[in-house]
Amino acid sequence: MNIVEKEAQIVKKSLNVDNTILKALIKCLPVGIFIIDSNGKLLEVNSLVYNIWGEFQGIENIQQADKFQGWNSSSGELICGNDWALVRALHGEISYGEVIDILRFDGRKATILNSAAPILDDKNNIIGAVATISDITKIRDLEKELIQHKEILKNLIEMKTHKLININEKLSRKITINEQLTDKLRHMEQLNLIGQVAAGLGHEIRNPLTTVRGFLQIFQEDNNFQNYHPIFSTMISELDRANSIISEFLSLARVKEVNKAMVNLNEILSELSPLIQAHAHITSKNLEVILEDNLKDLYIDENEIRQLILNLCNNGIEAMGPNKTITLHTYTENNQVILKVKDEGSGIPKNILDNIGKPFLTTKENGTGLGLATCFSIADRNNAQINIETNSLGTSILVCFEE
Ligand SMILES: Nc1ncnc2c1ncn2[C@@H]1O[C@H](COP(=O)(O)OP(=O)(O)OP(=O)(O)O)[C@@H](O)[C@H]1O
Ligand SMILES: [Mg+2]
């Protein structure tokens, strides 16, 4: 036995490796165990080491640690000979649970958990080192699978949540549209009811009015009543006013007969503009008309649309101070023909806007509050929708004709 072997014998003894209990323990522990002396010589390697690394031969000293190929599992860094925990333990370092991907001696890959610590004698001298390894390949694979499943689950939840949000948004939109439609329906029903009552009464009232008007005209022309001439004029114009209110009432009725044909909105506006111009001129206001070329024809009741335009223009002109301009504009947007009546008035007050289009809503001393209600009713019968944009600089009423 040479000196080195003798030394090993002494270390082995001081490590008590010969101890039968320790030997049995090393055999049955569920981890691989390496024991080396202070020179790095392998004293003990249990069978689990071979299970984990695969069979290897001819490695007797830790200086040959380069033959063990491993990579830090999280950083991917190659572990060189001196980086192994067992080698570092010979310098006094204790390491615990290092996760290392290894290339086994049979060429397969595995992942191990590696721990090591120095072995000290009574005087705290390092007389060797011990390392344990355990195979965590399956746990790592399961972990990876779990992460993948988690990712899939996360994506699935995100997708479903997104879908739910979409459905929710669609539902909210539908509810809003429904509420708007219900509102509109209620409004139209209201107008219709008023119109129907008016239709019944209107006929009965109009006939006697016409008779009275006729007699008044005769008396007006009679020389015997010359002194009363201005009074007859007032009476006739008051009767005309009553008559026009009845006409407005009648046009609220949905049952009203409509007389539709293909008509061009530009033509109606061109015909009406001298009349509107004259009305604006009396109160020192201007009219501007911008008509789109080649505007497509609409299937509408020409007379009703005339009334709608006049009502909107009257409102616009009445809302403005002198020298302001009312603009009539036709154009096409999203395939829809649009008539815009824009004024430079002070806008529609909020409390009026909330109830706009309801009959008898007026802020004018001599207003009936039927102008806009009539416009809504006409728009409804002629497949158009009325949108209002208003602020302190003016109001634009947009009449959008459906295709
Ligand atoms: N272009 C506008 N600018 C500002 N306010 C407006 C405009 N159009 C309508 N309004 C407001 O809406 C109310 C209702 O208008 P609507 O045309 O229905 O009735 P009116 O003009 O008061 O009376 P009339 O029956 O004689 O038309 C008006 O009294 C006014 O307060
Ligand atoms: Mg009006």
Q: In sequence order, what DSSP letters do the residues of 125-176 get, joined into one string?
A: -EEEEEEEEEE-HHHHHHHHHHHHHHHHHHHHHHHHHHHHHHHHHHHHHHHH
Q: Cα–Cα distance between 162 and 178 in angstroms, integer? A: 24
In 3-state terms the chain splits into helix, strand, coil percentages (rounded to 5) of: 50, 25, 25
Ligand approaching nearest to the C-alpha of 395 = 1
Give the span between the Cα atoms of 166 and 365, in whole angstroms.
Answer: 50
Q: Which of 368, 372, 377, 388 to mutate to test the pocket of ligand 1 (most atoms within 8 A of CB)?
A: 372
Q: How far is the CA of 284 from the centre of ligand 1 (A)?
A: 20
Distance 265 CA to ligand 2 centre (A): 21
Judge whether residue 310 has pLDDT over 60.
Answer: yes
Q: How far is the CA of 312 from the centre of ligand 2 (A)?
A: 7
For atom 17 of ligand 1, the residue with the nearest CA is 371
Mean pLDDT along residues 180-207: 77
Give start-end residues of each CATH 3.30.450.20 domain in the chain.
3-135
Whole-number average pLDDT of the chain: 89
d(CA 63, CA 248): 110
Lowest pLDDT segment from 105-114, 144-153, 199-208: 199-208
Q: Return the CATH number of 257-401, one of 3.90.120.10, 3.40.50.1100, 3.90.1640.10, 3.30.565.10.
A: 3.30.565.10
For 15, 20, 116, the CA distances from 11, given in Å and listed in that order, are 6, 16, 18
Q: How confident is the model at residue 26 (pLDDT cuts 50, 70, 90)?
A: confident
Higher pLDDT, 208 or 235: 235
pLDDT of residue 242: 85
Q: What is the pLDDT at residue 11?
A: 58
Structure tokens that stand for 6 in this block? 């003798």
Taking 60 as the threshold, does the pLDDT of residue 3 lie above it? no
Other residues' Cβ atoms within 10 Å of the Cβ of residue 317: 20
Residues having C-beta closer than 5 Å to ion ligand 2 = 315, 371
Q: 3.40.50.2300, 3.30.450.20, 1.10.3720.10, 3.20.20.450: which CATH number matches 3-135?
A: 3.30.450.20
Tokens of 149: 């499943």
Nearest ligand for residue 348 CA? 1
Q: Where residue 70 falls among pLDDT bands split at 50, 70, 90? A: very high
| Mean pLDDT, rounded, for 91-97 | 95
Q: Where in the chain is the domain with CATH 3.30.565.10?
A: 257-401
Ligand 1 site residues, Cβ closer than 6 angstroms: 315-316, 319, 343, 345, 348, 352, 361-364, 367-373, 395
Q: Which pLDDT band holds residue 293 (cuts at 50, 70, 90)?
A: very high
For residues 23 and 143, the model is more confident at 143
Question: Which protein residue has the closest C-alpha to ligand 1 atom 28?
Answer: 362
Ligand that lies nearest to the alpha carbon of residue 367, given by its number in the listed order: 1
51 φψ region: left (φ > 0), alpha (ψ -120 to 50), beta (else): alpha
Atom of ligand 1 nearest to the CA of 397: 1
Mean pLDDT lowest among 124-128, 205-209, 292-296:
205-209
Query: What local confidence, expressed as pLDDT, does residue 28 receive?
Result: 87
Average pLDDT over residues 81-93: 95
